[in-house]
Amino acid sequence: MSKLLLPGRLAVSALAVVSLSACGALSGGGDPGLGDQARSATAQLSSPGGASTGVSGTVRFTEIEGGVYLSYEITGLDPGEHGFHVHEGASCAAADTDGDGTPEAGGAAGGHFDPLGSPHGAPSAEPDARHAGDLGNITADADGLAVGGREDRVLTFDGATGLIGHTMMVHSGRDDLTSQPSGDAGSRVGCGVITLQ
């Protein structure tokens, strides 16, 4: 460590600035501009009603300026990509979604959260070219573990695209990001209601 040759108070001030900067870097640093006012929400995932998939985990949402930062740690998945969406409903119970009289696993979660009336699309698409709940795919490793995080600039904590009270869903297969209305991502294997912390 190099020595700072600074007189008295200036040396103390310089050390304080260095210390505060280091604290910010160690704590994840990224101040989204909301400081201590940033809200957070979580969805505790488990098998959706009507299924026994062995999927479990947590998805955490943190409010940032202009959107949300989401992080996830999910286990029990088949290796590979899995569709990852916010759905419109407030329950993960089984429900008949296609009118055939047979309840589907997690059917009460409804379709993708789409308050803007947009088509299904990639998470990188503009708001008029994706559902608010379109978060693309997550990738599980050979042990069935998916861990990661990213920003989303369409979902919010308030207003039309507010995510609180909706459901977080993981699907059995890959979202192709184009098929309508939901990316042909397969069955629902993990679900949890998003609640404010």
Q: What is the distance between the alpha carbons of residues 180 and 52, in angstroms, rounded to a whole number?
A: 27
Domain 32-196 belongs to what topology? Immunoglobulin-like (2.60.40)
Supply 151's token pair: 């920003």
**pLDDT-derived band at 24, boundaries 50, 70, 90:** very low
Please tell me which residue in 114, 152, 171, 175 is annotated as part of the active site: 171
Is 166 in the active site? Answer: no
The full set of domain ranges for the chain reads: 32-196
Catalytic residue among 82, 120, 130, 166: 120
Query: The whole model's pTM is what?
Result: 0.80
> Does the annotation mark 120 as catalytic?
yes
pLDDT of residue 17 exceeding 50 = no
- Tens of pLDDT, residue by residue over 129-181, are 999 999 999 999 999 999 999 999 999 999 999 999 999 999 999 999 999 99
- CA torsion through residues 121, 139, 169, 68, sign: negative
Q: Strand order in 167-171's β-sheet?
A: 134-140, 80-87, 167-171, 188-196, 40-45, 56-64, 67-75, 146-152
Pick from 34, 124, 128, 136: which is nearest to 81 by CA? 136
Radius of gyration over every alpha carbon of the chain, rounded to an integer in angstroms: 21
